[in-house]
Amino acid sequence: MNVLEAIHERRSIRKFLDRPVDDEILRHLLCAARRSPSSVNSQPWEFVVIRGEALKAIQQENARKFRNGDPAETELSTSEWPKESIFRKRQVGIAKQLFGAMDIQRGDTEKRQAWVERGFRYFDAPAVCVITYDKALSPKGPLMDIGGAVQTICLAAMEYGLGTCIAEQGVTYSSVVRRMARIEESKNLAISIAIGYPDWDYPANNVISEREDLDHLISWIE
């Protein structure tokens, strides 16, 4: 698959087939991520690959905490923006697209809760990669580098017919992930990526999220 094809065809996958992903393939993805550029070649990322019983236990405990209404313990929030902003409007836009595809009505609290809970279970993916970085680094320092590595993983996954969903929800209950995945206190949890073979019959997996018109994003100066 050529790079531009992968970039344009990538989308968030929120349901996976019941099929494991070989460790060797996961290694290939992280080998690609390792080649991502980073500030002064600092390579701040560390990858925690979670599968099997450990993943099931984390999925269950995250979901339990969500159902319980436990407060978020996010260590690095990637989603804060002014309420009346265009950014908020775009969030509402993708939610409408996804709820529309999944036939979740506005007032259907039960279905909405069930939908949100799936994110805390990494959409029941067979494999998850949690990206951490050393607390010695300033909180914002490695964000750009890790963002590049995350995109590299998502694009490389497509070469193997895999789908991904980047999920802040997956590190919201950081104490759970830290304890069950044995992540040292000296590391911050940046983000998680759910990885697996896409279930193309799941309507949300066929949603193409919208993008701002290119001409609204570029200023040409000469």
Ligand X SMILES: Cc1cc2nc3c(=O)[nH]c(=O)nc-3n(C[C@H](O)[C@H](O)[C@H](O)COP(=O)(O)O)c2cc1C
Binding site for ligand X (CB under 6 A): 11-12, 78, 94, 119, 165-169, 191, 209
Q: How far is the CB of 155 from ligand X (least distance, A)?
A: 12
- If the CB atoms of residues 169 and 174 are measured against ligand X, the closer one turns out to be 169
Tokens standing for residue 107 = 């007032």
3-state secondary structure of 218: coil
In the complex with ligand X, the residue whose CB is nearer, 7 or 23, is 7
Phi and psi dihedrals of 58, rounded to 5? -70, -45
Mark residue 43 as left, alpha or beta (left: phi above 0; alpha: psi -120 to 50; beta: remaining). left
Q: Residues with Cβ < 8 Å from 78, sequence gap 6 or more?
A: 168, 191
To ligand X, the closest distance from the beta carbon of 31 in angstroms equals: 22
For CA atoms 3, 4, 9, 14, the dihedral sign is positive
Minimum CB–partner distance for residue 23 and ligand X (Å) = 25
Q: Which is nearer to ligand X, 92 or 218 (CB)?
A: 92
Instruction: Tell me how far, at minimum, the Cβ of 4 lies from ligand X, in Å.
Output: 15
**Beta carbon nearer to ligand X, 27 or 77:** 77
3-class secondary-structure state, position 149: helix
Nearest approach in angstroms of CB 101 to ligand X is 11
What span, in angstroms and rounded, lies between the C-alpha atoms of 200 and 156? 19
3-class secondary structure, 133? strand
Q: Which is nearer to ligand X, 125 or 166 (CB)?
A: 166
Cβ distance 12 to 168 under 8 Å? Answer: no
